[in-house]
Amino acid sequence: MRIYSFPHGGISYNDPTAPSKKSVVNAYLPSLSVIPIGKRIFPTISIGDMVREGMLIARATEAGTVNVHATVPGRVIKKASWKNRDGFENDALVIRMEGSFEKLGKREEVFPWAGLNCYDLQRIISEFGIVEMEYSGRPLSEMISAGRKENDKLTLVIRCVFDDPWHVADYALCQQRIKAVVEGAAIVAKASSKVTQIIFAVSHREKEIGEMFIKNSQTLEYPAALVLTGSRYPQRNNRELELALRTYEKKEELSLGAFLILGPAVLAAVYDAVKFKKPILERYVAVGGSAVRYPQVMKARIGTRIGELIEQCGGLTGKPERIVLGSPLSGREVSYLDEPVGSTCYAIVAMAKSQAKIYQRQNCINCGECRTVCPIGLDPQNIYKRIRTLGIEKTGDTGCHGCGCCKIVCPSSLPLSEVIFERNTEAAGA
């Protein structure tokens, strides 16, 4: 099969400190769960209340927010707040595990969905707080509504592109829950009411995953196709993936319309919500880095503190120099091992000094490597210097989407993508 990719730039990214994709370990249930609730969500319970597994504990109040559910049974013992390294405040409810589980280990009642209309399915997805389980965690219900407003037809794209070894948790999920992902895709397609076809976009090195998708999609009422993509980072990004798919569209003389692009984790969550009335209780997380003794992929409850998962991987080999939630290329740096696993946390990377040294900042040496790898043809070195010298008013929006390629190849470890992408955001809001 032909391999489709974006036209230029990008990098081949490997990291030997990422866990293997061959096995998944079930994490221990946390004695204390830290459930993030956000600033714009209204708690429906009080300190001291008992909660059940899957019970609604905070209700969405406005666009961009979702309902929050307890991931373990127990007692709400306190409210916790902390600031991350960017200065943003986080709120959470802390639940001490007590009592019996209603879903874990129990035979689950199956709810048929074939007779439900698109609005019923969307309501269930909204009620159980299903979000895009990476990036900013946008509510899936809002993404479905936006897709329904498209004037053109809609193609649902299942993104299984592994351009970054820290997305190994998605690979493990596909191996273990391929049928759930495929049926979840069918549910989303029906909830949208605009989807006319489904594309499984899989990086060519993982062709066997794509073949499994096609085999399991034969009973779907939607036509399904496999598209093999490149493996250069940032092929997984929406923009680069869409470029590859438009090339496929032109080459095959198709009409795909607009795209609704989703990862496998959110589709498995949709399957659980619609068929079993379950919110997002757990997710697959890659735990590793040079400071972790035994890196591995873990299936962990939402709200488990990251320090507990690291302990279950044999603990730390020494004091970590840097801890990142997500990929080292684009993840969020954290300061506390008590921070919890959230629905968008697909990786935990704890770096020893030797690995973190790669990211220590020095002066620009004008090597031009950043220009070579930028997938949209920018000159990050020049833009960065202009922002530092002239400020936001005289630079404006450059089109950067923050993939981080320039940062990873920069021998001086300058925060090129962060500064440029942040200025774009500020300029757009100015």
pLDDT, tens digit, 9 for 90 and up, residues 248-269: 999 999 999 999 999 999 999 9
Residues 142, 209 share a domain: yes
Give the domain range for residue 425. Answer: 369-429
Residue scoring higher pLDDT (361 or 227): 227
The total number of structural domains that make up the chain: 3
Residues 123, 266 share a domain: yes
Work out the average pLDDT over 385-406.
74
* Residue 426 confidence (pLDDT): 57
DSSP β-bridge partners for residue 50: 75
Work out the average pLDDT over 288-301.
96
Q: Which of 270-284, 352-366, 375-389 is predicted most confidently? A: 270-284
What CATH number is associated with residue 148? 3.40.50.11540
Of 85, 103, 121, which residue constitutes the final position of a domain?
103
Proportion of the chain above pLDDT 70, given as a percent: 94
Distance between CA atoms of 213 and 226, rounded to whole angstroms? Answer: 8
Of 70, 103, 136, which residue constitutes the final position of a domain?
103
| Residue 105 binned pLDDT confidence (cut-offs 50, 70, 90) | low
Residue scoring higher pLDDT (214 or 103): 214
Distance between CA atoms of 51 and 218, rounded to whole angstroms? Answer: 41
Residue 360 counted as domain residue: no
* Residue 392 confidence (pLDDT): 53
Work out the average pLDDT over 165-190.
96
Residue 322 counted as domain residue: no
* Residue 136 confidence (pLDDT): 81
Residues 269, 228 share a domain: yes
Residues 189, 134 share a domain: yes
Residues 208, 72 share a domain: no
Q: What's the whole-model pTM score? A: 0.90
Residues 272, 222 share a domain: yes
* Residue 357 confidence (pLDDT): 61
User: Which residues have a Cβ under 8 Å from the Cβ of 54 and sit 6 or more positions away?
Assistant: 69, 70, 71, 102, 103, 277, 278, 279, 281
Q: What is the pLDDT of residues 126-174, one digit of tens each?
A: 999 999 998 888 999 999 999 988 777 899 999 999 999 999 999 999 9
Of 103, 124, 142, which residue constitutes the final position of a domain?
103
Residues 204, 140 share a domain: yes
Residues 78, 200 share a domain: no
Residues 134, 223 share a domain: yes
Work out the average pLDDT over 333-344.
92
* Residue 430 confidence (pLDDT): 45
Residue 298 counted as domain residue: no
Residues 73, 158 share a domain: no
Work out the average pLDDT over 323-330.
89
For the cut 90, the answer to whether the pLDDT of residue 38 exceeds it is: no
Residue 10 counted as domain residue: yes
Is the link from the previous residue into 30 a cis peptide, with omega within 30 of 0?
no
Residue 356 counted as domain residue: no
Distance between CA atoms of 130 and 268, rounded to whole angstroms? Answer: 10
Distance between CA atoms of 194 and 26, rounded to whole angstroms? Answer: 38
Residue 344 counted as domain residue: no
| Buried/exposed 120-153: b ≥16 CB within 10 Å, e otherwise | ebbebbbbbbbbbbbeebbbbbbbbeebbeeeee
* Residue 60 confidence (pLDDT): 92
Residue 94 counted as domain residue: yes
Residues 51, 150 share a domain: no
DSSP classification of residue 218: T
| Residue 47 binned pLDDT confidence (cut-offs 50, 70, 90) | very high
Determine the Cα angle at 380 with ends 376 and 386, to 5°: 130
| Residue 195 binned pLDDT confidence (cut-offs 50, 70, 90) | very high
Residues 74, 117 share a domain: no
Query: For strand 154-160 and strand 89-97, is the pairing parallel, antiparallel, or unpaired?
Result: unpaired
* Residue 22 confidence (pLDDT): 86
* Residue 403 confidence (pLDDT): 84
Q: What is the pLDDT of residues 201-251, one digit of tens each?
A: 999 999 999 999 999 999 889 999 999 999 999 999 999 999 999 999 999
What CATH number is associated with residue 96? 2.40.50
Residue type, 127: E
Work out the average pLDDT over 76-103.
86
* Residue 423 confidence (pLDDT): 66
Residue 319 counted as domain residue: no
